[in-house]
Amino acid sequence: MTITATSTDAPVARQTMLDDVIAGLSQSQKTLPSKYFYDARGSKLFDDICDLDEYYVTRVESTLMSEHVGEIASVVGQGVLLIEYGSGSSLKTRSLLKYLDQPVGYVPIDISGDYLAQVGVDLQDEFPAIEIMTVTADFTGTFEVPNPGTPESRRIVYFPGSTIGNFKREQAQSLLAGMAEVAGADGGVLIGIDLDKDRDVLHAAYNDSRGVTAQFNLNILQRINRELGAGFNLNNFRHEAIFNADTSCIEMHLVSTRRQTVNVCKYSFEFEENEMILTEYSHKYTFGSFEIMAAEAGLNVKRSWTDPDNMFAVMYLERV
C-alpha cells in the first residue's frame, strides 16, 4: 500500500511560492529558489540531465554505489526505515533497496506531488515486501515521517546526488543537523557529495552541448508563468553556468538578453540587458571541508567510499 502525505494544501503552497519569488526578484542580485525547478516537467528534465555524457555526477555515483552497495548495505544494517530527501525518480535508490537486509519501509520525500505519486506506485509494484510511504513536502521545511506497519530497527536518512551542494554552507549545515534529528540517536545519514575537480569538467557538466540543462533552468520561468500568472518571455532569457572559485561553487543563472519589464501578479520587475537571476548553487567539497561542516551539525563521518579519480564520494555519518 502506498501512503501519500501532503505537507501543505494547494492555496497555501501557491502563496508560499509567490512570496518566495517576489522576495528573490526584489533583491539586488535577483534569485529564484531552486526547489521550484521540480514540477513534473522539471523532474523529467533532470532525469534527462543525469543521462548526459557531460554530466558525470550520476554516472560516477551509480558506478560507485554498484561497486560498494553490499558493503554500504552492511553498514546501514538490518530492518531499517530508509528516508530519502528529494527522491525524484528514486532510480539510484532501487539498487540500494535490493541489497538492504529486510528493510521495513522506504519514505521518498519530494516536492513534486504528481510525479512522486506515480513513482510510489511503481516502487510498490517493484518492491512488494517493502512498505512504500511517499511524502510530498519541501524537505528543507517541517514534515512528518510516517511510521511503517513493522517497527524499524533504526532510521537511515539517504541524500544522494550531491544535492547538499545546492545549499549555502550555513543552510547545508542546518539541513545536516535536521537529518541527524530525523535519523535519531541510533540512526545514520548516507549522503553523496561532489568533490572539487578540474574546472573544464565542471563547466561542461553544467553547460551541456544538447542544451538540456538550459531547458531545465528555463523551466522555472515557465512554471512561474503557469502557476503564478507571471509574464516571463522565455525567449528573452538564456542559461549560463559559471564557477565561483571563492566559494568552490557552480552558479546557475538565467541571463536577460535585453532590457525588459516582467510582471508577476501585481508586482513589476525591471531587468537590464545581461542582468542575471541566480537560480542554483552547486558547491564542491574536499573531504576535509565536508567533515568539518558535518561535525558542526553534530555528525561524525564513520565511513566513506570514492571512485579512483576522486570525482565523487558517498559518506556514512552518525550522530556525535
pLDDT digits (tens, 9 = 90+) for 168-208: 999 999 999 999 999 999 999 999 999 999 999 999 999 99
Structure confidence by residue, pLDDT tens digits, 74-106? 999 999 999 999 887 787 899 899 999 999 999
Q: How many CB atoms lie within 10 A of CB 274?
A: 12
Q: Give residue for cell 519501509.
A: 105
**pLDDT over 50 (residue 4):** no
pTM of the model: 0.87
Q: What value does the mean pLDDT take over residues 253-268?
A: 97
CB under 8 Å to 26, separation ≥6 — which residues?
A: 269
Residue type, 20: D
Residue ranges covered by each domain of the chain: 9-38+199-283, 56-197+284-319
Q: What value does the mean pLDDT take over residues 133-154?
A: 93
Q: What value does the mean pLDDT take over residues 205-234?
A: 97
Question: What is residue 3's predicted lDDT score, i.e. its pLDDT?
Answer: 44
Residue type, 285: Y
Question: What is residue 200's predicted lDDT score, i.e. its pLDDT?
Answer: 96
Q: In this structure, are strands 154-159 and 80-85 parallel, antiparallel, or unpaired? A: parallel
- Least confidently predicted of 94-103, 111-120, 276-285: 111-120
Question: What is residue 7's predicted lDDT score, i.e. its pLDDT?
Answer: 46
Band of residue 11 on the pLDDT scale cut at 50, 70, 90: low
**pLDDT over 60 (residue 9):** no
CA atoms 98, 104, 110, 112: torsion sign: positive
**pLDDT over 70 (residue 250):** yes
d(CA 301, CA 186): 15
Question: What is residue 6's predicted lDDT score, i.e. its pLDDT?
Answer: 41
Mean pLDDT rounded to a whole number for the chain? 93
| Cα dihedral: 122, 124, 127, 133 (round 10) | 120
For residue 220, give Cα distances in angstroms to 100, 106, 280: 36, 29, 11
CB under 8 Å to 245, separation ≥6 — which residues?
A: none
Q: Which CATH class is domain 56-197+284-319?
A: alpha beta
Question: What is residue 43's predicted lDDT score, i.e. its pLDDT?
Answer: 85
List the alpha helices (DSSP H) in the chain. 10-25, 40-50, 56-76, 91-99, 113-126, 169-183, 199-206, 212-228, 287-296
**pLDDT over 60 (residue 36):** yes
Q: What value does the mean pLDDT take over residues 4-14?
A: 54
Question: What is residue 1's predicted lDDT score, i.e. its pLDDT?
Answer: 41
Q: Which of 90, 65, 3, 37 is nearest to 218 (CA)?
A: 37
